[in-house]
Amino acid sequence: QQQVKQSPQSLIVQKGGISIINCAYENTAFDYFPWYQQFPGKGPALLIAIRPDVSEKKEGRFTISFNKSAKQFSLHIMDSQPGDSATYFCAARWYGTYKYIFGTGTRLKVLA
C-alpha cells in the first residue's frame, strides 16, 4: 500500500514554462512534507519543504502548495530551466519521528 502517491511519472516542459508535480497522501499522521531533487548518479538533495499548518511556501522559483483537507501537496517550478531537468521526489515524515515515506518520483525534462 503506497502511502504517498506521486504524479506524473514523467514530465516534459518547455524552457520558461511551469512544471507542476503532485503528491497525495493517505495518512494524517505526517508532520513534514519535503521535496527532493536528484540528478543522475547523485543522492537526493532537499529542495523545499512545508509543514501542514502552512498552505504555501515559496523559495525562489520553487513553490509548494499544500491542501490539508484534500491531503494533497504539489511542487510548482516557475520559469523552468534546462538545469532543472532532474528527478523530483515528494516525501512525508511520520509525526515526531525520523521515518520518511517517499513518492515514486517524477522525471522532469526541460527543453531548451
Partner 1 sequence: NAGVTQTPKFQVLKTGQSMTLQCAQDMNHEYMSWYRQDPGMGLRLIHYSVGAGITDQGEVPNGYNVSRSTTEDFPLRLLSAAPSQTSVYFCASSYGTDSYEQYFGPGTRLTVT
CB of 15 to partner 1, least distance (A): 27
Are the CB atoms for 15 and 111 separated by under 8 Å?
A: yes
Q: Longest Cα pair distance anywhere in the chain, in angstroms?
A: 42
Asked if 27 and 3 touch (Cβ cutoff 8 Å), the reply is yes
Alpha helices in 3-42 (DSSP H): none
Nearer to partner 1, 17 or 32 (CB): 32
> Which three cell numbers mark 78?
516557475
Q: Smaller CB distance to partner 1: residue 32 or 72?
A: 32
Which residues here bind partner 1, judged by CB under 8 A?
A: 6, 9, 32, 34, 36, 41-46, 49, 89, 91, 93, 96-105
Choice between 17 and 52, CB closer to partner 1: 52
